[in-house]
Amino acid sequence: MEFVIKKSDLVRELQTVTGVVEKRATLPILANLLIEAGPQGLSVGASDLEVTIRGTAKATVVKPGSVTLPAGKLYEIARSLNDSDVQFKLLERHMVAISCERTRYKIAGQARDEFPKFPDLDVTKVPRVGISDTLSYAMGWVVQSTPNGRIAVISSGKKHSRCAGTTACSSRRERPAC
């Protein structure tokens, strides 16, 4: 595997994907990111076995391939590099050489086979949920009952109101006066 990518594109993808990686993963491979170089560019993925995320970035791929690299260390290295092109080259024993101008790093990785498989999703069959009146009403209106009455929390997405009272509303659409 060998590819060249702009530092800004690399950091942007790593920022997005590293949020899924846990600091103390139950399996050591889950502390890594899956780096895949192919004809479409660079693909970066992470998983904690519950949440999976994958991002893509433009890169010049010289030789396709894949490896997993420690997420925290890779992100730290990428942020410290000069704002220039970054070259990744897979060496033997899953070692990766990272170079940018006069800066050189070697980082130990693991085989792609040990990383969990990503689920195959057909985005054409995923149901789409639109914001209808009912959904926006349900999202912006929470009522909590208490022995003394009720407390209503109303949210429009921009501001929040809190009401407390003992009077009952005559309909679902009626909101208590605060």
Q: Which CATH number fits domain 2-114: 3.40.1030.10, 3.10.20.30, 1.25.40.10, 3.10.150.10?
A: 3.10.150.10
Separation of alpha carbons 17 and 32, rounded Å: 11
| Host H or E run for residue 44 | strand 41-47
> How far, in Å, CA of 129 to CA of 140, rounded?
16
Q: Residue ranges per domain, the chain?
A: 2-114, 129-178
pTM: 0.68
Predicted local confidence at residue 120, as pLDDT: 75
Amino acid at 45: G
How many residues in total does the chain contain? 178
Other beta carbons within 10 Å of 52: 16
Can you tell me whether residue 158 is helix, strand or coil? coil
- Per-residue model confidence as pLDDT tens digits over 104-143: 999 999 999 989 888 776 656 656 655 555 555 555 555 5
Mean pLDDT of 85-107: 96
Residue 20 pLDDT: 87
